[in-house]
Amino acid sequence: MGHNRTLLCRSVFVGGASMMLMLAGCAGQTATEKALDREAALHERAEQRVAERESRQSDVIETLPDWIVKKPSPDATGVYGAGIGTSESISLALQKANIDARRDMAQEIDQVLSAETTMAGDSDASFKSIVNTFIDSVDVAGAEDVDRVIQSGREGYRVYTLLKLPYPEFNRALSEFSRQDESAAQAMQSQYDQLMARVSDTPAFESEASEQNAPSDQQSRRRVTPIDGEMPDEALVRALQESR
């Protein structure tokens, strides 16, 4: 019994001595050293967060279709639009992606026509107004499906859609536009001709689905890809799109 008490006393003494040494070490740090330690710890945590974010971004890119991150440029066949849709309902996700792709397509038309005007050196506010009016008259409902990818995860469904507006739709819109405002239509025709000359030798974009024709909505429903864990954050995907 006495032997055990002696061992216990020694353990308490050793433990107490270790704690005192630790406290003495801390107390021995200057205010500057403590601040440097805190700064180093904060820097390490920040680097850890950056590494985790880059890892997540890399994982996201691997699950995305190439044409979402880098949308095809206008070629000899038409202008492209890429869209994203997320919903617990696959039907609603498909609708959202199609609407988003058409919005993106209208934005692309605006950009390519404005770019032709800028390259021609005659960009002004009045022509910008003409471009906007023309875009409103283009029937993007005539867009064709090029490719579609559907993913499923815990949050529901994510749809990526790539559409193309063939140039005949441009021609129909220009014809209608000329009946409304002939002088404005002539200005648009000039920029459209420049665009055609620039892309005439550009080969048509071919996706993985091109050889077998783009999948319809009904076919796409049978080609859903399950995603383990969480689906790519939509905000991050759109940030990647904006940086393309």
* Candidate from 16-20, 136-140, 220-224 with smallest mean pLDDT: 16-20
**110-139 pLDDT, tens digit each:** 887 777 655 554 555 666 677 777 777 677
The whole-angstrom separation of Cα 53 and Cα 45 is 12
Res. 54 pLDDT band, cuts 50 70 90: low
Cβ atoms of residues 147 and 192 within 8 Å = no
Contact 237, 60 (CB under 8 A): yes
Q: What is the mean pLDDT of residues 146-172?
A: 89
Mean pLDDT is lowest, of 29-38, 61-70, 160-169, 203-212, for 203-212
Burial class (CB in 10 A: 0-12, 13-18, 19+), 92: middle
21 has a pLDDT exceeding 50 = no
Average pLDDT over residues 151-161: 89
pTM for this model (two decimals): 0.66
Cβ proximity of 226 and 154 under 8 Å: no
